[in-house]
Structure 1
Amino acid sequence: MGQDWHTDPEVPAELYRKRLYFRPDPAEPAILHVRQLGNPWHRRTILFRDRLRAEPAVREAYEAAKLRAAEMHAGDDDYDDYTRAKSDFFRSTR
């Protein structure tokens, strides 16, 4: 069980919980975030997806951030270190 970055003190912390699933296949690794309905990040995730589609510069910056995070955390035991490493990108592009 994981938890999204808690952005609104008015929202109970338990609504930020999520499940993380990891596929360790070296050829096709994947991390899947599953959020409960009502999680504040549900809407933010969709808005961010739409922004990536509409703004090539943001999309390219996000790709670069993901590649850096993947390289820095490739051998980490906690696969969510990669996800947490991207937090600065999200905080800087709100």
Structure 2
Amino acid sequence: MKKMRWLLLVIMLPLLSGCNGIAKNFGGTTTIDLPQNKKLVNITWKDSDLWYLTRDIKPEEKPETYTFKEESNYGVKSGTVIINEH
């Protein structure tokens, strides 16, 4: 029984190594807080990595929160990424 637990841990550990990958591959929610005075421009996935482009916030702009939702074709999983500007 202990060997089975260790085997399961060894198999699952790479899958659980990043919250972004979990949200993308298994559904769930991950939140990213952008650095102070940064504005979100674009966001994309490359494999299990989440890449986002930012720029400096302009004086007339206010910080916003963005919610990106993924819906699978089969409705089995859905992931959410929340981006907070400050």
Q: Which interval holds the TM-score relative to the shorter structure? A: under 0.3
The TM-score with structure 1 as length reference comes to: 0.22
TM-score normalized by the length of structure 2: 0.24
Higher strand content, 1 or 2: 2
Q: Which has the larger share of helix?
A: 1
